[in-house]
């Protein structure tokens, strides 16, 4: 196998391309994430819960541990009147980020309305924050 010589400027040029390309891909992913969130928020503002849930399912397939998306899913179920399905997304968000205030508020509201003593430690946590 012949020894291939690559000059330092070519290596730097190729690495620069990789860095730029990676940055572009990251930028596209961030832009898509923002567009997803805006579409979800628009659906929620119109009380179009079915569309919001479809968009959330798609976004959560890409980012299953995104606490903001999980919280939006909980809010959507809660606004739909489906408390049973609303609590698990809030709980998952809190497993990932225990002090995420919107998820704490959502979980507390549901647990308090159900008269669950599980609301107490969450209330204590939010007061400490």
At 3 the pLDDT is 54
pLDDT tens sequence across 79-112: 999 999 999 999 999 999 999 999 999 999 999 9
What is the average pLDDT value for the chain, to the nearest integer? 81
* pTM of the shown model: 0.75
Q: Which helix (H) or strand (E) holds 47?
A: none
**Distance set, CA 124 to CA 13, 16, 24, 68, 117 (Å):** 55, 50, 43, 22, 12
pLDDT tens sequence across 31-58: 567 888 889 999 999 999 999 999 999 9
pLDDT tens sequence across 52-86: 999 999 999 999 999 999 999 999 999 999 999 99
- Which CATH topology does 9-128 take? 1.25.40
């Amino acid at each position: 196998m012949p020894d291939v010589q690559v000059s330092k400027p070519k290596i730097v040029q190729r690495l620069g391309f990789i860095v730029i390309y990676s940055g572009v891909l990251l930028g596209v992913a961030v832009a898509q994430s923002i567009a997803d969130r805006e579409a979800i928020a628009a659906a929620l503002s119109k009380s179009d819960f079915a569309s919001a849930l479809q968009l959330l399912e798609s976004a959560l397939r890409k980012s299953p541990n995104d606490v903001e998306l999980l919280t939006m899913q909980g809010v959507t179920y809660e606004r739909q009147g489906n408390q049973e399905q609303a609590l698990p997304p809030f709980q998952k968000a809190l497993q990932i980020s225990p002090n995420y205030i919107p998820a704490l508020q959502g979980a507390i509201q549901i647990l308090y309305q159900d008269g669950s003593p599980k609301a107490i430690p969450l209330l204590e946590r939010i007061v400490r924050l």
